[in-house]
């Protein structure tokens, strides 16, 4: 299994490669990228520099063009695909079906991966993208159980990549109707569940409150840790009780099921976090590299080390982790 790690800039790209990533995924500094934040991402010249650095180590660079193009943004989108082909990225990660058609017709030698933003969760959907556009790999959404992933690997003709560490999403990836309703922005095109313009913090005598567009989603006691406000991790009153009704603040961590994923034939483990720091990229990449190497060497006897768990826990939301939807033992 490969280890695929994120990079929002050149220092993070180098850190991912130096710490053991097999491939690094990046985005250009434009609206084709679902993490299009100020101060983040790559110019074509920086991407070329990153490609050279990766090639020296025998590693690969994937480019995410994972937003859905609008009529106004179509030219920028196809120009980005053309640029990706011209500079020689190792794969293009696409979600938009029209862009897939353009890429497959205009650049037939360019390797295409199906983005998690496409939310392909069954073998028939994956087969359509493979047969029509020649995709070589699918990145599965984080809503499938281990049994469902194993079944898909068995019945699909393309490589399968799954998320192994980072933020969770309990909605249709990148198309959260809750966030869109409250903030007025698509998480796919805005690149975040809670765009900065919609976020407001209010200090009160009893603690801190967080709002999205005037909607109260959380109250924190004095000195209580407060995470960045997202609707799915808010606390809501249900039947006179206030609690995390949709999702607890936690991070996905698949270390304990690495042998199951390896045995099933999963091609790659992906780390979430192009918007995160170089320190995050370095620590997560190094920790997962060590775990993957140990699993590949002796899958039958592999168990995550306590040190690996502790290292990843330092970066986990809510200081806890979960298998998420992967853990459905009844299936």
List domains and CATH numbers for the chain. 2-168+250-326 (3.20.20.70), 177-243 (no CATH)
**Average pLDDT, whole number, for the chain?**
92
At 317, is the secondary structure helix, strand, or coil?
helix
DSSP-derived pairing of the beta strands 207-212 and 215-221:
antiparallel
Cβ atoms < 10 Å from Cβ of 247: 18
DSSP-derived pairing of the beta strands 137-139 and 207-212:
unpaired
Provide the terminal-to-terminal Cα distance of the chain, rounded to the nearest Å: 24
- Distance, in Å, from the CA atom of 107 to the CA atom of 1, rounded to the nearest integer, reads 27
- Distance, in Å, from the CA atom of 78 to the CA atom of 268, rounded to the nearest integer, reads 27
Instruction: Name the one residue in this structure whose structure tokens are 């409250």.
Output: 182
User: Over the range 68-86, which residues count as b (16 or more CB within 10 Å of their CB) and which as e?
Assistant: bbeeebeeebbebbebbbe
- Distance, in Å, from the CA atom of 80 to the CA atom of 65, rounded to the nearest integer, reads 8
- pLDDT tens digits for range 213-251: 999 999 998 878 787 788 888 898 999 999 988 887 888
- Please answer whether residues 316 and 309 qualify as being in contact, where contact means their C-beta atoms are separated by less than 8 angstroms: no
Low-confidence ranges of the chain (pLDDT < 70): 318
Helices (H), ranges, the chain: 10-18, 44-56, 74-87, 97-106, 123-133, 146-155, 177-183, 187-190, 258-264, 278-297, 306-313
Structure tokens at 229: 């406000």
Supply φ then ψ for residue 32, to 5 degrees: -80, -5
Structure tokens at 180: 């869109």
Position 318 scores a pLDDT of 67
- Please answer whether residues 131 and 156 qualify as being in contact, where contact means their C-beta atoms are separated by less than 8 angstroms: no
Supply φ then ψ for residue 80, to 5 degrees: -65, -40
At 312, is the secondary structure helix, strand, or coil?
helix
- Distance, in Å, from the CA atom of 39 to the CA atom of 29, rounded to the nearest integer, reads 9
Position 320 scores a pLDDT of 76
Position 326 scores a pLDDT of 85
8-state DSSP, 230: -
């Amino acid at each position: 299994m490969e280890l695929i790690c994120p990079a929002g800039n050149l220092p993070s790209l180098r850190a991912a490669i130096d710490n053991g990533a097999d491939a690094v995924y990046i985005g250009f500094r434009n609206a084709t990228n679902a993490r299009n934040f100020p101060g983040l991402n790559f110019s074509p010249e920086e991407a070329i520099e990153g490609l050279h650095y990766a090639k020296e180590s025998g590693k690969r660079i994937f480019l995410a063009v994972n937003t859905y193009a609008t009529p106004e943004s179509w030219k920028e989108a196809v120009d980005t695909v053309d640029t990706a082909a011209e500079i020689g990225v190792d794969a293009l990660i696409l979600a938009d079906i029209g862009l897939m058609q353009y890429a497959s017709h205009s650049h037939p030698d360019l390797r295409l991966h199906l983005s998690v933003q496409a939310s392909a969760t069954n073998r028939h959907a994956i087969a359509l993208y493979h047969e029509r556009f020649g995709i070589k790999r699918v990145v599965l959404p984080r809503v499938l159980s281990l049994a469902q992933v194993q079944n898909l690997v068995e019945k699909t003709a393309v490589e399968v990549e799954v998320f192994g560490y980072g933020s969770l999403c309990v909605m249709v990836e990148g198309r959260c109707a809750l966030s869109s309703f409250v903030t007025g922005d698509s998480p796919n095109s805005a690149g975040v569940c809670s765009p900065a313009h919609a976020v407001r913090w209010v200090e009160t005598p009893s603690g801190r409150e967080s709002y999205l567009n005037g909607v109260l989603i959380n109250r924190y006691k004095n000195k209580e840790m407060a995470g960045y406000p997202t609707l799915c991790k808010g606390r809501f009153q249900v039947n006179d009780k206030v609690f995390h009704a949709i999702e607890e603040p936690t991070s996905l961590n698949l270390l304990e099921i690495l042998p199951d994923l390896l045995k099933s034939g999963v091609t790659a483990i992906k780390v979430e976090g192009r918007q995160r720091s170089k320190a995050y990229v370095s620590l997560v990449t190094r920790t997962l590299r060590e775990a993957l190497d140990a699993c590949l060497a002796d899958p039958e006897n592999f168990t995550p080390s306590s040190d690996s768990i502790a290292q990843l826990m330092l970066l986990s939301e809510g200081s806890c982790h979960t298998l998420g939807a992967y853990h459905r033992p009844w299936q």
